[in-house]
Structure 1
Amino acid sequence: MQSFRVTLLVLSLWLAGCTGSRKITYFNDIAATTGYDPVERYPQLKIQSGDVLQIIVSTPDKDVTQFFNPNLSGSPGPSGTGVDQGYLVDSAGFIRLPIAGKMYVRNKTTAVINEEVTTELSKTLKNVYVSTRMVSFKVSVLGDVARPGSFRIGAERASILDALSMAGDMNTTADRKDVMIIREVDGIRHYTSLNLNDSKTTLNSPYYYLANNDVVYIKPGPGKQFPTSRLVQLLPAILSAISLATTIILLSK
């Protein structure tokens, strides 16, 4: 009988540990640690009003190149004043370039903008090379994470896991089944919820890859609602110590 009690106690402690770990891991519905799934082509970033574009125009003529890129430096990005250097997409979706003039860029990718700017400038210039990138790409991560804040994205591709990594990951008290993403497209604000324990739905969601100015809100889990006194914070550790001591006493008899 005593042996049965000890076995039951150890089994209960083991199950409790397994349950706790599953609550704080991602994609725990994936059984195997290795494997593969086909990856759909990720959606390309599309330009919206308020974005800032860096458009570098190069030609064999150094004077022409300097004319188009007077502020070009080795590391494009925010200026010393905190304002991004580049072409601001206005509320109607246009930018204004030297020689090319007014061009509509909203809902277009940087690859398409490259082609259109090259075509327009080639009417006047020879051997034009155009490189376009967004320099204002950032996302905000708020809520139950280690380091909430806004984060710059240096590339045109960033997933929700990238954003969580920059924010120091979720706290153990965070709700991984209801992660909210807020996105504004063409003046309309969209909301969606991702379950980071559901790999198929999350990895195939159009919100898995983030867009410029996305807001990721991590909701606190039920445990976050309890009083945060020192005793409450230490309670799990105290209970674990008591359980371990009880196990040792029973095994020693």
Structure 2
Amino acid sequence: MKYISFLKKITPFLLIALLFSCASRKDVVYYQGIDGMTAQGKSNSYEIKLQPDDLLMIIVTAEDPEIAMPFNLQSVSVQNPGKLDAVTGQQTMQLYLVDAQGFIEFPVLGKLKVSGLSRSEVLQMLQQKIGVYIKSPNINLRIMNFKISVQGEVNLPGTYNVASERVTLIEALTMAKDLTIYGKRNNILIIREIDGVKSYNRVDITNADFMNSPFYYLAQNDVVYVEPNKNRINGAAIGSNTGVIISISSLLITLITLIITTTK
């Protein structure tokens, strides 16, 4: 009877502890305060900057294809991996690698510094330089190895290739199947490297104002890390000591049973 009376006394306290351990709305809901935000008109002007190790596809065309040929890298034939002595006839476009100093080696024009420039700035430079040789050249430029990595408390962590040259933090998290319930939404880390210098930046996606942040749009090779919240950390600690906890609990239950039995 004393044991039952004790359980009745502590039950309300256990219920209160459970209630306060639940996550609050402000820790989970995205875009809080978005209704009070004013429209922003500058997001469409966002352009990433080219970096060392970028792979660029640059194609120059003109009314006369023969005139444009010297300004393009030649395609090469690739062999069938299953038949090394046979050629598939498939043509593969060669790409420009931005070297560690930020240069590419361009046909006819020589070395060009492109690191730190946006796509439109590089196109403008090429238009001016190639325009000396070709009247009104058409130039297409694309980054072929744009990728971002998402780690931590997301449902599908990994490295993702991006077809376009504009990807938002929300799109990256969506590729990773969103945060788990244990992800810390108000302290997401974005690691970015520009000209060999890494920066470490924190973003709170529960506050809608993060969409005005310079880290709303991601750059190539960005790493997004979602930190686990306290519940996940505490759960991990409990999980690693489950065997010890079960042993101690069994011992305590045995002692309590013996005490109750001897006091009857």
Q: Which of 215, 218, 229 is the aligned partner of 2:223?
A: 215
Q: Residue 208 of structure 1 aligns to which amino acid in structure 2?
A: Y
Q: Counterparts in 2 of 1:147-158, with a 5 A limit?
A: 147-158=156-167
Q: 2:68–2:134: 8 Å Cα contact kept in structure 1?
A: no
> Match for residue 211 of structure 2?
203
TM-score computed with the length of structure 1 as normaliser = 0.71
Segment of structure 1 superposing worse, 39-48 or 155-164? 39-48
Segment of structure 1 superposing worse, 39-48 or 184-193? 39-48
CA distance in 2, matches of 1:210, 1:160: 6
> Match for residue 112 of structure 2?
103
Shift of 1:155: 1.6
> Match for residue 47 of structure 2?
44
Q: Residue 217 of structure 2 aligns to which amino acid in structure 1?
A: Y
1:26 paired to 2:23: no
CA distance in 1, matches of 2:232, 2:23: 18
Q: Residue 106 of structure 1 aligns to which amino acid in structure 2?
A: S
Shift of 1:124: 2.2
CA distance in 2, matches of 1:35, 1:47: 32
Shift of 1:99: 1.1
Deviation by residue 1:38-77 (Cα, 9 ceiling, x = unmatched): 24345311111111111110012234445515339xxxxx
CA distance in 2, matches of 1:159, 1:129: 29
Q: Residue 60 of structure 2 aligns to which amino acid in structure 1?
A: V
CA distance in 1, matches of 2:206, 2:200: 19
Q: Residue 40 of structure 1 aligns to which amino acid in structure 2?
A: K
1:177 counterpart SS class? coil
Q: Which of 91, 116, 123 is the aligned partner of 2:125?
A: 116
Unaligned 5+ segments in structure 2 are 1-15, 77-91, 243-264
Query: Identity of paired residues, percent?
Result: 31
Shift of 1:106: 1.2
TM-score computed with the length of structure 2 as normaliser = 0.69
Unaligned 5+ segments in structure 1 are 1-11, 73-82, 233-253
1:171 counterpart SS class? coil
CA distance in 2, matches of 1:61, 1:40: 38
1:70 paired to 2:74: yes
Q: Residue 38 of structure 1 aligns to which amino acid in structure 2?
A: Q
1:131 paired to 2:140: yes
Q: 2:55–2:95: 8 Å Cα contact kept in structure 1?
A: yes
1:86 paired to 2:102: no
Q: 2:27–2:186: 8 Å Cα contact kept in structure 1?
A: no
Structure 1 stretches of 4+ moved >4 Å: 18-22, 64-67
Segment of structure 1 superposing worse, 220-229 or 42-51? 220-229
